[in-house]
Amino acid sequence: MELFWLLGIPLTGGIFLALWGYRRNAPEINALFSLLTLAMAALLTVRIVEAGPMMVGNGWFFIDSFNVFLVALTAFVAFTTALFSRPYMRIEQEHGRLNATRLRLYHSSYQIFIGAMLLALTTNNMGILWVAMEAATLATVLLVSLYRTPASLEAAWKYFILCGVGIALALFGTILLYFAAEKVLGSGGNALLWTHLNGVKAQLEPTVLSLAFVFLLVGYGTKVGLAPLHSWLPDAHAEGPTPVSAVLSGLLLNVALYAVMRSKVLVDGALGNDMAGTLMMGFGLLSVVLAAFLIVRQTDVKRMFAYSSIEHMGLITFAFGMGGAVTNFAGLLHMTMHSLTKSAIFFAVGHATQKTGTQLMDDIRGLIKTNPTLGWGLMLGTVAILGMPPFGVFASEFLIITTAMHEHPWATPFLLLALGVAFAAIFGKVQPMVFGETELPKLPYQPAQTPVFLHLGLVLMLGLFIPPYLAAWYRQAAHLLGG
């Protein structure tokens, strides 16, 4: 029942906001729908924590501790982003960058995007997972080009075509998966149900499954932003409106990685070796290193943090690739930390760029003087994402790197080098933005920074102390991933 509402509310919200048009309180209604979705996600989480995994609707939906954790995270960040976008988009409208028609499109697509991601997370059918991922992309294409500037159109086109090709490869992977499954489970809808596949994974044809995994990894990996198919990501993040950058970075990348992980569990079972893990480690490591060195060259603040997302997603992919209970735990923790921190950073960056009217880092100076809350928000967010203790990112990165030292010592120098380079580059660029000299007057209005500090507070709390039930929950999810 909760599940029905969880998927129904965003969908209704999307249709309602499209039909109702942009009225004065449309942003509040958008936030309200997101709040209701969050409430349903919370109820669902409580149910799963109490009663264990659950199948709904004749096995069409399957919820276990792995995806319910992502459902809760998605609903939470979606809600805080809706809160952030309320004043943010109003100011954009006052600046004349957006009009009522585009805001109507924005609010409607926002809800549909969230709904599609929740569908992708909760469905048990690998085919529907594909359909929902594609729907999530389509819902955001027009959001990336919302400003209709030449650069934003180019970014959206790149996003559309590159993710289209990626998702077509993933479709071929899904066809191959079905091909292998059909032999064991018989044809028809059941053969793509993940739970059924998981039950017979040892009997699936290994050659077909390894080929299927390559296609699925490259296909969904395009969406995770794994190198070398990452080039849509910085453009889409930099040119789209900031709330969209926050949800793309904080949520969509996670959902795509979720799809890869679901496939990995099946392939591991069928192959009995760590071919899937090795591939993921390779792609992950390449993304971490490449992104770190590209961060150094960035001049646009949103672009820089987009590359930082590639770096972190690469690190998480690497962690899941290593496998094992500890690294899966660390990977899940890092997914949470990255979502919360990165969206908080985008909220802070959004206000900073809105105020100065530029995304060029050289032109943003002295935020601490013009608005202390904003300045501290950006600074703390940056410190957190760079993995400084006591923030939670430190804990997960520490776990990942120490395990890598034990099990794959060859990878450690690359990881440390990349993290070091990223640290020096990002810190060096953000520091003058916050503490530099400026002649700009103080901000006339108080930016909506509650979501920033809410997220950072959570990240800080999880860095200092992970509540036992949450730790148990992560451990359970890590176990499901094969550890």
Partner 1 sequence: MTALAYHLQIVNLLAALLLLISFAMLSQRRVVGLVTLFAWQGAALALSTAIVAWSTGQHHLYYSAAMTLGLKVIAMPWYFYHLVKKLNVNRVVEPMINIPTTMLIGIVLVIFAFNLALPISEMSGTVTRSTLGIAMACVLLAFLMMITRTKAIPQVIGFLSMENGLFFAATSATYGMPLVVELGVALDVLVGVFVLGIFIFQIRETFDSLDLKHMEKLKEK
Q: Beta 61-63 vs 54-56: how paired, if at all? A: antiparallel
Residue 25 CB, nearest approach to partner 1 (Å): 26
Q: Which CB atom, from 101 or from 450, has the smaller least distance to partner 1?
A: 101
Q: Which CB atom, from 256 or from 411, has the smaller least distance to partner 1?
A: 256
Residue 141 CB, nearest approach to partner 1 (Å): 6
Q: Which residues bind partner 1 (CB under 8 A)?
A: 125, 127-128, 130-131, 134-135, 138, 141-142, 145, 148-151, 153-158, 160-161, 164-165, 168, 171-172, 174-176, 178-179, 182-183, 187-189, 191-192, 205, 207-208, 211, 235, 239, 294, 297, 299
Residue 149 CB, nearest approach to partner 1 (Å): 8
Residue 258 CB, nearest approach to partner 1 (Å): 18
Residue 174 CB, nearest approach to partner 1 (Å): 8
Q: Which CB atom, from 202 or from 405, has the smaller least distance to partner 1?
A: 202
Phi, psi of 54 (to 5 degrees): -145, 140
Residue 68 CB, nearest approach to partner 1 (Å): 23
Residue 414 CB, nearest approach to partner 1 (Å): 21
Integer CA distances (angstroms), 381 to 426, 455, 478, in order: 11, 9, 27
Nearest to 379 by CA among 398, 397, 364: 364
Q: Which CB atom, from 190 or from 412, has the smaller least distance to partner 1?
A: 190
Residue 179 CB, nearest approach to partner 1 (Å): 5
**Residue that has been written with the tokens 């950072």 in this structure:** 456
CB 130 within 8 A of CB 263: no
DSSP conformation class of 248: I
CB 327 within 8 A of CB 399: yes
Nearest to 134 by CA among 186, 171, 175, 96: 171
Q: Which CB atom, from 146 or from 401, has the smaller least distance to partner 1?
A: 146
- Position 248, amino acid: L
**DSSP string of 54-95?**
EEETTTTEEE-HHHHHHHHHHHHHHHHHHHHHHHHHHHHHHT
Q: Which CB atom, from 235 or from 397, has the smaller least distance to partner 1?
A: 235
Residue 158 CB, nearest approach to partner 1 (Å): 7
Nearest to 37 by CA among 76, 68, 1: 76
CB 216 within 8 A of CB 147: no
Measured in whole angstroms, the distance separating CA 204 from the mean position of its chain's CA atoms is 31
Residue 422 CB, nearest approach to partner 1 (Å): 16
Residue 214 CB, nearest approach to partner 1 (Å): 11
- Position 375, amino acid: G
SS3 238: helix
Q: Which CB atom, from 149 or from 431, has the smaller least distance to partner 1?
A: 149
Nearest to 366 by CA among 433, 272, 444: 433
Q: Which CB atom, from 63 or from 143, has the smaller least distance to partner 1?
A: 143
Integer CA distances (angstroms), 123 to 15, 59, 73, 167, 258, in order: 21, 9, 17, 17, 12
Tokens of 461: 């709390």
Residues 6+ apart with CB under 8 A from 3: 44, 56, 57, 61, 63, 122
Q: Which CB atom, from 155 or from 418, has the smaller least distance to partner 1?
A: 155
- Ramachandran class of 436: left when φ > 0, alpha when ψ lies in -120 to 50, beta otherwise: beta
Q: Which CB atom, from 55 or from 135, has the smaller least distance to partner 1?
A: 135
Q: Which CB atom, from 96 or from 188, has the smaller least distance to partner 1?
A: 188
Residue 127 CB, nearest approach to partner 1 (Å): 3
Q: Which CB atom, from 16 or from 178, has the smaller least distance to partner 1?
A: 178
Q: What is the largest CA-CA distance in the chain?
A: 71
Beta carbons within 10 angstroms of residue 439's beta carbon: 8
